[in-house]
Amino acid sequence: RCTKAVGVLKATHGLPPADPAREQQQIARLRQLAHDSHLDPDFAEKFLNFVVKEVIRHHEHIAAENGGSTNT
């Protein structure tokens, strides 16, 4: 529900579905959290990448439905 609201806001304001700089910040943060918790940082990054790709896909769909840009 939250990602849908963000997708609508991005489409309404002509913002791209993806934010690579923000994604890199989140990857670094999550890798550190995983390391600190004695979990596999590579797995954590792969899982986050999967989630981010799905969110971007949804945002692109919302943008297309609203006549917005789907540029990533």
- Please say if the pLDDT value at position 70 is more than 80: no
Domains, the chain, with CATH or none:
2-65 (1.20.59.10)
DSSP, residue by residue, 29-68: HHHHHHHHTTS-HHHHHHHHHHHHHHHHHHHHHHHHHTT-
User: What token pair was written down for 30?
Assistant: 């999550």
- 22 burial (CB, 10 Å; 0-12 / 13-18 / 19+) is exposed
12-60 per-position pLDDT tens digit: 888 888 889 999 999 999 999 999 999 999 999 999 999 999 988 888 8
Q: Taking the complete model, does pTM exceed 0.85, yes or no?
A: no
Cα–Cα distance between 71 and 14 in angstroms, integer? 10
